[in-house]
Structure 1
């Protein structure tokens, strides 16, 4: 931050009323902002009398606009515009002002030690709003619509309207973040906010506006499409769509890359199941090696066909972990006890009555009956 003051041309967000001389009635938010960063504003005199007080700032602003912003750039969002301006600003560091031997970036690095450091925490310039969530799961902010998780329908939430983003809070917890929209009556939906509703009404999934936006943004990938098609072929449209929605709910617990890896493995194996996707996603997250064999039908391996913990995967077939070789702890017992002595208890012992009766009933050799 500059050590003395910063010159301002009586910008309207800061100055509510121009008084005599350099006295001004400032807005409350501007006073909080400059107090946070600890600098003093210097307000220039209005009109031609104060034109010389701003130096070459207005000339440099016009030059920058004519060189880089004419014609106006066409962008999809404010974030993309900010990225372009940041790249242009980096290029400006190599520019030489006429009559100076050093570049703009070199001069700034020379002056940097003379400035005060910025505060450790950034100042929150957002505006707090408290709209009510509509029955369609959206809130209205400055004539634009943003989705909110379905459980907040009918409730009042706190919205932080920032320059580039819109944050939606439940208490102190952020439940939704959207890029700020610039056109009135436009909307931005997040597919995850409607999954509980679509799980009950899977028929509305294919035509949902949130799904179309997820496809356009690349969140709903080709792997999701392939899994959806395979699930519908196996279980039908309704059950297959519900299976896909259950997989999408896994994104709340596991990283997106792990879930996509789990779906990819399941599609290669050919066993379409939500539980298998969850297992393979956790295996991909943990980087756990698994065992396999040449069972061409399912991609799984029989435990009795294993040799030395299994063979590596072939042709991209998923591998299955052997519980005995990989998961169960080793048996620390020295050996099994000898049970041969107890086997005699399983044989009945002959009694005296039985022996006598048998002898009397057997005729001797050479006698008649």
Structure 2
């Protein structure tokens, strides 16, 4: 699919710009060169006005000069429905120009909407609207070239891009402000292509990471479900044994498994699920909960632990193990945030 590149800006010698523009007489030729390079790079073009007050007319002239009939190129004119755009299109290229009226009555609506939908943006000179379009492109991570050498709003956009960079390399950003030369347009258009490649690679990497995390969460969930099922089974099995040792074994095994399941469920909600580490935390929490609870029971109950008492303990220890495994991270996080050595005021006796 051919990328669509929007080109915006102005270089009217009768207009005041902030920052000031320089070498304004070179801008028409530079814009024509940019249009030619966009056509050679296989890009479609998005423009907004055919007025001599803006640079689109020069860009379209260069673009049409380099387009071939068989290229399948398109110049999309995005403007409100009541605006008329007229470009000097050769008869054999009339099919290239597509006027896409926008239902919005205000030109800003169709203007910024088209910028958001573009695959790349080039800003040249310009005023407030050009500056806003460039800053929005940086914020939305749209590949961007700001022809800063000529000044105007493009210079402000370039300074903003230099602070945030996005997918533009420092070398590419420096080229945007370099003096205009014969190969400048080729380098700037190549920078757009490089930015788009980096952006697509970053998107692919993000999708791969998302898929990996989703698979890890699925594995955590399946292992947790299996651990819960086996833990509940130990309660049932404890009723089938008459020996205290076997019943205690079922009790301890079930509490450890259910605590591991709680830790896995908690870990699945994190940014980077880690099955082995979650299991280790869960087993640790289950061991701690089991020993503390059973220890408290033996200390407070003078009767010896038998199979029947063990089965009764299971109904409490299994939910306790699940809670311990699930909340272990939160408890430890609070403990880490407590400064045990913090100085506290005290009163003199």
| Higher RCO, Cα 8 Å, sep 6+ | 2
- Structure 1 or 2, whichever has the larger Rg, is 1
Larger proportion of helix: 2
Normalization by structure 2: what TM-score? Answer: 0.25
Instruction: Tell me the TM-score normalised to structure 1 length.
Output: 0.24
